[in-house]
Structure 1
């Protein structure tokens, strides 16, 4: 039996485009392999320099629980085009896109909303704004304000070098050597290169500024009545685990630490992450149905 490649889609998962009043968004949609979706759907939003593929490893397991799960590329990311306008890539502007996507994906039903890393800063804008009323909200490996540590340094390097030297320089002098040293397999390396060059350079620089300079909006988010989960890796090298635990406390949110994982639990510990999300989503649905 051959070993599945990174981008081989699991059973029940297909690539599609989600058409909305503000444009079409590239997506991976997962449906139960057997039966039909009986639970409320979920919308997964990736981080800075990320894409829908960051969720591939958890999609089948999430859908098996009986729901439709949609992972997207945000505007300007990988296979979703974006304009040459920096204003389109702020957290506020991208959050408005999430409002519209949640309405389309939900089609009248509440949506379980998940934001990974920078995607957490974006999705919280949608939740705080009030137009999106999710069934639940998960901050995955995200933090209260601008990113810190080694990932802060990487974002500052991108911000300083991309406008002057371009994507080819950034890839060949920074990202590719780091990936090779980390032992990234060739098929994933090829994908990372394709994804980087498909991103909007203007989007990348604006998002880098946003992830570095994001204000602390935890108090604003705590005013929203929504079941919230803060989920992160035990060894997260983005926002420190201690900062995410403190954020969970301020939000009066459930907190789940994924053992052994770093900044991408959906990649590094997919089964643990998928089961934690499914349990949280099921409990949130039960509470809402009982209250309603």
Structure 2
């Protein structure tokens, strides 16, 4: 989970519902103030939401990219079914393909943070023509580190035994490492985090945890994707082992970004540096689009 530093919407950001062939999804849609270099669809991680990208949206649009962050099905402000089948990998991936189509900008750049990277990988494999590139942010093609696997198992077991409010309190206590829960967080942020937790479907949280625990090594599938690939993470990443991420970048031939001093959420801790590195990668993607204000997509000059 990423924890936003501020809940203020960046300039030119609309909070709206994106109507797709697979339902309506809550999104934050931020437009650049000038010619558009392309569009990026941002998928949040486990227990997270579209607000995880609030600090990143502004810098991305300053670089010329329309940035759209989405709540997946059952996540925060997007409703979702209660049944387990709704949160299987293919169902979530098909949602992303539908979201990309509904944006109306042709192929988009796809970025998945943490668990969102698992979904993004599946979507890119299902419909490669829908995406210009794939970026895995703090997300690997292999298994999460052992402490995270233990945490996910404990969380899934807690949902079967305790009310959601009790699980929230226990999670907050663990996150504070035994300090007073919420110490140092402004009240409006604590209220947001609780609201996000309570709105997110238990089936979504349980299903995402199940997928993270069962995720096979996807290195070969990544290498086979017919699109540019980018692996980005902080050098203090904790959810995936850093050596595994570096090895995956080498094995797949991916563009490789390591953000110095960043942990699991460079999108929050280092948004401007990350945006610069992301835009540099996207700018070099062959066939990228450039859209004048009020114009139609066209191939950028070579």
TM-score (norm 2): 0.89
SS in 2 for 1:41: strand
Structure that is richer in helix per residue = 1
Change (3 A) 1:230 1:276: same
The Cα shift of 1:108 comes to: 4.7
State the partner residue of 1:42.
40
Contact kept, 8 Å, 1:111 with 1:135, in 2: the verdict is yes
The Cα shift of 1:44 comes to: 0.3
Contact kept, 8 Å, 2:134 with 2:230, in 1: the verdict is yes
Structure 2: which 5+ runs fail to align?
290-298
**Alpha-carbon distance between aligned partners in 1 of 2:76 and 2:173, rounded to the nearest angstrom:** 17
Equivalent residues in 2 for 1:197-236, closer than 5 Å: 197-236=198-237
Equivalent residues in 2 for 1:183-262, closer than 5 Å: 183-186=183-186, 187-262=188-263
**Alpha-carbon distance between aligned partners in 2 of 1:98 and 1:238, rounded to the nearest angstrom:** 23
Change (3 A) 1:231 1:200: same
Q: Determine whether 1:17 maps to 2:14.
A: no
Q: Determine whether 1:127 maps to 2:128.
A: no
1:166-208 superposed Cα distances (whole Å, 9 cap, x missing partner): 2111111232452473855133222111110010011111111
Equivalent residues in 2 for 1:164-179, closer than 5 Å: 164-176=161-173, 178-179=175-176
Task: Work out which of the residue numbers 53, 66, 79 in structure 2 matches 1:81.
Answer: 79
SS in 2 for 1:26: strand
Change (3 A) 1:49 1:184: farther
Q: Determine whether 1:283 maps to 2:280.
A: no
TM-score (norm 1): 0.92
Contact kept, 8 Å, 1:127 with 1:221, in 2: the verdict is no
Contact kept, 8 Å, 1:102 with 1:132, in 2: the verdict is no
Contact kept, 8 Å, 1:179 with 1:189, in 2: the verdict is no
**Alpha-carbon distance between aligned partners in 1 of 2:111 and 2:257, rounded to the nearest angstrom:** 14
**Alpha-carbon distance between aligned partners in 2 of 1:188 and 1:287, rounded to the nearest angstrom:** 37
**Alpha-carbon distance between aligned partners in 2 of 1:238 and 1:5, rounded to the nearest angstrom:** 20
Contact kept, 8 Å, 1:99 with 1:131, in 2: the verdict is no
Contact kept, 8 Å, 2:144 with 2:241, in 1: the verdict is no
Give the RMSD, CA atoms, in angstroms: 2.1
The Cα shift of 1:20 comes to: 0.4
Q: Name which of structure 1's ranges 65-74 and 169-178 shifts more when overlaid on structure 2.
A: 169-178
1:207-264 superposed Cα distances (whole Å, 9 cap, x missing partner): 1111111111220121112111100011101001111111111211011001111111
**Alpha-carbon distance between aligned partners in 2 of 1:183 and 1:234, rounded to the nearest angstrom:** 26
**Alpha-carbon distance between aligned partners in 2 of 1:136 and 1:129, rounded to the nearest angstrom:** 14
SS in 1 for 2:45: coil
Contact kept, 8 Å, 2:63 with 2:276, in 1: the verdict is no
Structure 1: which 5+ runs fail to align?
none
**Alpha-carbon distance between aligned partners in 1 of 2:245 and 2:55, rounded to the nearest angstrom:** 23
Contact kept, 8 Å, 2:89 with 2:122, in 1: the verdict is yes
SS in 1 for 2:65: coil
Q: Determine whether 1:145 maps to 2:142.
A: yes
State the partner residue of 1:115.
112
State the partner residue of 1:31.
31
